[in-house]
Amino acid sequence: MKSKRYFNTTGFCMPERHYMIDPLRNQKIIFDLIEKTQYFTVHAPRQTGKTTLLHELAHRLNKEGNYISVVFSVESAGYRSITEEIANFKIISSLYESCELFISKELWPQKPITDEKCSLQTYLNNWAGSQKKAIVLLLDEIDSLYDDVLVSVLRQLRNGFQGRPKHFPSTIALVGLRDVREYKLKVRPTEASLGSGSPFNIKAKSILLGTWTKEEIAELYSQHTKDTGQIFSKKVIDRIYELTGGQPWLVNAVANEIVEKILKSDYTKKITLAHAEEAKENLIARRDTHLDSLLDKLKEPRVKNIVSAIINGDSLVYDNFNDDLRYVIDLGIIRKEKYDIIFSNEIYREIIPRVLNFSMQENIREEGMTSCYIKPDAKLDMDKLLKAFQKFYRRNSEHWLERFDYKEAGHGLLLMAFLQRVINGGGRIDREMAVGRGRTDLTIEFAGDTFVLELKLKRDSDSKEDGLDQISRYLDTLGMTKGYLILFEIKPSSIIPWETRVKWENVSHQNKKITVVEM
């Protein structure tokens, strides 16, 4: 029998329709803040459960009967050309229209009148004054607002704060993609500030919604098992956790891809590790809305700085490093793991380089034919492949990299594009990248063979010996004794001509056989 519930990948979750875990299970702090009439902010990347949490919270508060709670979005006022007066009206109208979803008619505020000028502060003041219960207002998409409008809204909320709970909402939560510290970056420097170091200095707490643990993924998937009998084994759950990093949308999307697309909702079929890998590839190839919105952020200079550094393994030392790093973490693109700054999960780690080098990959023609590099025994001839890339790189790199948006990471991305074009014919590439590592490590699986490549930019501060030491240590971690060190010269050919920069050398280093490929 077909399950009445399914894994949700669009919009907020509803218990009667979707498999879901209680979004308020670890949020005692939110109820404490509401009880203390505190204001707070909630931030998290897109599609991590913010709206689901808000709806569950409002419905629970209203059901318990101690508060009046409404969730509404201010996105309708989120464009630069809007005036403060029109923005106030749009925000008030959004609040009024949302009341129908959460509270009974007698608790609604006054209907806004088009021609009547009314500030958000006055509107909330009048509404709170007309009610016996305290109001908990959950204001979504706050960081969609710009400039004067953002300053105006925050200032009105701050001004009304002193009148709570009888003459202003008892608690207000501002919810968006970014932490409150980021709001000030959306305001033009020439505009009047809120008069404090923080743009919303009345907040008591800033709450970041985290990713899911393996146990929480298992809890979600167990609901599907209960409904259908179809089991996600521990091995499959562990692999999906590696692929997704516990990112809620990805956790649902991988499961939905397996259950509905790959297995066609046949609950008698066993879910395997191969299905998880196939789901990953399908999601990457299809680039659903979630992944597209993530990748759109790659165009932002602040994101580009961090992403380039991860791909190259560069160290970052500059004035805005901390702000940029926090920003890209808040977007959910990267995370800190011990001392490393890496992409948040395996799917992001795979799709980001693929998207960045997609135009390159599409323009690689005959050199990218898999059949050119296959030996009679169906094995991959990696030496032949890399020698072909040296010729291709010499012919195309300067012209291509000049037009490439990610110039700093372009050398490695060009090789990855070439490899991807060839390896797509029957193998896979695993990438290890992190800020400050000084290189990018690739492990290629093809026809039962494993190849290890280390990509490194030649800088004055580094030597070939450094690269040999690094790949030797990496080979040790893999229990292997053979690898390729790829060195990219970053100085132009006018300074170091191609005749001297293209080299191929087999060396023995720390009991390893290393092929050094320079270009």
**60-78 per-position pLDDT tens digit:** 999 999 999 999 999 999 9
Kindly tell me if the per-residue pLDDT of 421 is higher than 80: yes
- Please provide the DSSP assignment of 113-165 as one string: -TTS---HHHHHHHHHHT-SSEEEEEEE-GGG--HHHHHHHHHHHHHHHTTTT
pLDDT of 189 reads: 46
pLDDT of 197 reads: 43
Kindly tell me if the per-residue pLDDT of 366 is higher than 80: no
211: left (phi over 0), alpha (psi -120 to 50) or beta: beta
Kindly tell me if the per-residue pLDDT of 319 is higher than 90: no
Kindly tell me if the per-residue pLDDT of 424 is higher than 90: no
- Give tens-digit pLDDT for 202-240: 677 888 888 999 999 999 999 999 999 999 999 999 999
pLDDT of 6 reads: 96
Return the bridge partners of 72, or none: 139
pLDDT of 362 reads: 77
Find all residues with CB under 8 Å of 240, minimum gap 6, and list them.
217, 232, 251, 254, 255, 276
Which is more confident, 38 or 199? 38
Kindly tell me if the per-residue pLDDT of 460 is higher than 80: no
Kindly tell me if the per-residue pLDDT of 188 is higher than 70: no
Kindly tell me if the per-residue pLDDT of 90 is higher than 60: yes
In this prediction the pTM is 0.84
The helix-helix angle for 346-356 and 289-296 (nearest 10°) equals: 60
pLDDT of 357 reads: 84
Backbone angles phi, psi at 270, to 5 degrees: -80, 135
Portion of the chain with pLDDT greater than 90, in percent: 62
- Give tens-digit pLDDT for 246-270: 999 999 999 999 999 999 999 999 9
Portion of the chain with pLDDT greater than 70, in percent: 92
pLDDT of 461 reads: 62
349-366: average pLDDT:
84
pLDDT band at 196 (very low <50, low <70, confident <90, very high): very low
pLDDT of 201 reads: 67
Coil, helix or strand at residue 513:
strand
Q: Which of 157-161, 192-196, 276-280 has the lowest mean pLDDT?
A: 192-196
Instruction: Tell me the average pLDDT of the chain.
Output: 89
List C-alpha distances in Å: 122 to 156, 166, 167. Answer: 9, 13, 10
The helix-helix angle for 346-356 and 410-423 (nearest 10°) equals: 100
Contact 70, 95 (CB under 8 A): yes
By CB atoms closer than 10 A (0-12, 13-18, 19+), residue 318 is: exposed
146-173: average pLDDT:
93
Kindly tell me if the per-residue pLDDT of 437 is higher than 80: no
294-300: average pLDDT:
84
Tokens of 436: 């400050």
The helix-helix angle for 346-356 and 301-312 (nearest 10°) equals: 100
pLDDT of 191 reads: 45
pLDDT of 186 reads: 53
The rounded distance, in Å, linking the Cα atoms of 78 and 186 is: 12
DSSP code at position 108: -
The rounded distance, in Å, linking the Cα atoms of 71 and 308 is: 38
